[in-house]
Amino acid sequence: MTQQREKFTYLCDRMNIQLTEKKEQIFRSTLDLIHHFGFHGSPMSKIAKDADVAVGSIYHYFPSKDDLIIELYWYCKEIINNYVFKAEENNLAYDQRFRIIWKNIVRFYQDHVYIFSFMEQFYGSPFYEEVRSSVFKEKSERNKIFHFLETGIEQKQLKDLHVRLILAAYLGPAISLVRSALYEKIRLEEDQLDTLVEIIWNGVKK
């Protein structure tokens, strides 16, 4: 667990995302425990103990486990967005950004297994029902991938399909590829990523 925690701390520093020390400890512990034991196997008491925070104190930061999980979700989304969407790539042609962003997603999840595990479990849980409307309303601020693909449709770079279909075609192969690579404990090669993203682009481009 230590290596993953060090990566998470480094990532927070690198992205200049500010947390109090206690909240960072709680988030790290929550990611660790959910990765190993799932949502149901990670009660607040266990998270508090792992984070070295008094059980009563954890409720000072998060009124309930639901609040903790949902706040951690948005926090992870911010980290992912900051990694995937780099300012220096904003002026590239749309098709170039399409490929780069996709590969950034794959690299991020392969390098941050606990966040990948958390997001996988979150989307399949009742917690997601509580934030689903916000996910699609807050396109530009918190759901940048959705917004990026929607812009591609508006600019006639992508086929005139419902954006959620494009999103499924874009993210589905990335998630599946990361999942299989983690299961097989292999590192994805650059040429493999180039080949798959080219297939995706050819399938959705205008």
Give pLDDT tens digits for 75-87. Answer: 898 899 999 999 8
Q: Are 157 and 94 in contact (CB under 8 A)?
A: yes
pLDDT score, position 176:
96
pLDDT score, position 161:
96
Question: Which residues of the chain have a pLDDT value below 70?
Answer: 1-19, 133-142
Topology of the domain comprising 2-204: Tetracycline Repressor; domain 2 (1.10.357)
pLDDT score, position 139:
44
What is d(CA 68, CA 89) in angstroms, rounded to the nearest whole number? 33
Q: Are 61 and 44 in contact (CB under 8 A)?
A: no
Q: Where are the alpha helices (DSSP H) in 38-64?
A: 44-51, 55-61
What is d(CA 69, CA 74) in angstroms, rounded to the nearest whole number? 9
The closest of 23, 27, 22 to 8, measured between CA atoms, is 27
pTM of the predicted structure, to 2 decimals: 0.85
pLDDT score, position 138:
52
Domain ranges across the chain:
2-204
What is d(CA 18, CA 24) in angstroms, rounded to the nearest whole number? 9
